[in-house]
Structure 1
Amino acid sequence: MAAIGAGLAALLTVPAAAQRQAIVAGNVIVDAERGSIGPGVILVEDGRILSVTPGTAPPAGADEVIDLSGRTVLPGLIDLHVHLTGDPGGDFWKEAVEPEEWGVVVGAKNAALTVRAGFTTVREAGSGGETAFALRRGTAEGLITGPRIIAAGPALAIVGGHGDVSGFRPEVNAVLSSGYACTGAVECAAKVRRAAQNGSDVIKITATGGVLSQQGRGLEAHFSDAEMRSITDTARSLGLAVMAHAHGARGIEAAARAGVSSIEHGTYLDKAAADAMRERGVVLIPTLMAFQGISERLGQGVYTPVVEAKVREVAETARVFMTRAMQWGVPIAFGTDAGVFDHGRNAGEFRLMMAQGMNSRQALASATTSAAKVLGMEDELGRLAVGYSADIIAVAGDPLADATVLERVEWVMARGRVVE
């Protein structure tokens, strides 16, 4: 009996043979720069692309043929700024009554909405406790339907600033604090090390004030130059990039000079700040859908008076700042701030980017090749190429001619798994 049991155990642990899937596409966009190759067949095995060949004949030995002959097939999209663990609204007081674990439940819902919308990789740009890390593992192991998650975890903030807790009695603020607010270069370095220790893939800082926090002291620089330099130097020593929430021009400029890799939002970007970004290769993540999302809720009692005033303050410049960034030569990549608006609407960002001067090819590149480069994953994501992750989507129409067709993704494969 022992021998039979051992034999059964051995049999059950033998991995199943990898399935070869042949995707037959009416049009294949291998990447935004190279464009399409016309009809083609993509062979996938064990989550990787084995080949991309012109024509419509599936190769011999394919275990499954997926017929997308009436569709355009292209790389999965990347959103560099999401908050999967939250939904839109102004009920800041819920921080005091909802456990952090609830964020995993909300995040599981939103991860599914996001990947079904064609976004096969996201950068989670700030979340409570371990919630984003739990989601990251769940989607990686296939237990949760969702995209690949690059997770920041809790953001570093100044005490009482955007990203820290405010709006409650002092003793409640203290209890609810994430533990990642810091003062001075030494303490800020320690918080970066703690974030790395606890699982952060990237360090998120709130370099200026923000629109949706309850403190109303403007949108300019928060951290001192010494604090920001300490954060970026420490992150670099640990192999981590720093993404900086920043609205005010001087805060943007200071963050760029300190060595962050990306500026999130960038609302009041001016020429001096743009020059600092361009000279250092700092990428702008415009999050135009965030501005649209919060504007849609004005005057409905959703936000507190403090927040409403800040929303109205940024509304006009939010419609034009990316145009100026392009004119000044600032590199731009795709990010939406989903969670400020409803998850699953991420692709609405393409329409807004095009309204500010991008063409469809540039917009698609911003969410594929450019975004992959920001993540340091340009040899893994953003293209349909041999050895790359099998992150593939299908749409009707040609996104190189009209990127708004990406608002209606019809088929998704994420890491070799077809998303139902």
Structure 2
Amino acid sequence: MRIKRDDGGKPLTDEKGKRIKERDPERWGKGDRYKVRYYDPDGNEMSESFPDRQLRKAQAFLTKMQHDVLAGVFIDANAGKVNFKTYAESWLQGQSQDAATRQTLRSRLRSQLYPFFEKRNIGSVNAESVRDWLAWLRGRNLEVSTQAVYFDTLSSILSAAVEDKKIRVNPCKAQSVKKPKPAVRKVVPWPESRLRAVQLALPPRFAPTAELGAGCGLRQGEILGFSLDDVNRDEMLINVTRQIRVIGGELVFAPPKGGKTRVVPLAVGVLERLDHYAENFEPVVVTLPWLEPSGREVTVALLMVGNAGRPYSGSALNEVVWKPAFKRAGLAYTTKGDGMHALRHLYASMLLGRDVSIKELAEYPGHSDPGFTLRTYTRLLPSSRARARKAVDQVYVRSGQGNPGRPDDGPARSTVRLFAGQPVKPLKMFVNS
């Protein structure tokens, strides 16, 4: 507002002598009417302005800020104004020390998160924008399992923003946001005939692929990084300590997935095949950096390499060796069922069919959680009904006619004996009326 004046520039007054004000045509509606001042937890004075006719909103804001400071949940209104991409790059620096993991995360950010969120501030990412992003992912025809992976990445970034007090809550955890839930894919292990056909079709130089995958449960990178020096012949064990990975377009040695080294039982028949292979193809000494291209050099006598002693990457092995073997064997190749991971499924099915426990099965292939192993391979567990009856019959032995353990034998008329054939005395009950 400004002082109203007459044509001569003299201030006008009302009947009480008070100067009259009028709207300033140059400034009216261009500024805020109310300014809220408050202090953050560190004692710094903060402020927020509100336009005319928003006095109650300003008062409510002041009350909320005072409450948040006292409750220890204060969030600076300006903290969330950092660019999403800028914050995500900062978040990335605090993730796994494994170069391959950082490479994977960076690829996810660049392909499916930055194109949608990079022009937004971290504080403007809300439940509505997350739902829009999920619809955008579906429009790209991505697998539901792939969408779930990207969702977890976004949620991790936003959870970090909550911890850094950039935002108050993670919108990925809102009730209105549903994480993509892929259908549980049933593991169907190969029949042994399929394994034999692929074995015969593999080039002789890469024959150990099948033995190390289906016979030892090794992953693709672990197969490529295998050395006979890893074998403990006295105890018939394999020490799985490395794999070959690609970092920044270069091959490196790295620990197994998750950094978990492990020990795997080695069958005599598998060792004989590996030794026979080594008689025809002498192991090749290969030197590669450890973990990342700038890492220390490590030298290993690899069992299986390509032409001219060149080690292979997993993708090269797939395209040059694995997929062509199906064509030579006259087998149709499916992406979901015939990758080299199928060898590990076959390994699991062989162990489960021969009474190896879930705990052991989780340990040998290198799973981080026996629960994951159980969920993945539940269908492959052999029927337990007959075994359950047999186990109980070994404790509760029935005498007399009838087939022991059958639920349709009717009431037992003979004595039930528990442990070493000792009879169980009848229990007499007295009821006082």
For Structure 1 versus Structure 2, the TM-score category normalised by the shorter chain is under 0.3
If asked which structure has higher relative contact order (CA below 8 Å, sep 6+), I would say 1
TM-score (norm 2): 0.20
Greater helix share, 1 or 2? 2
TM-score (norm 1): 0.21
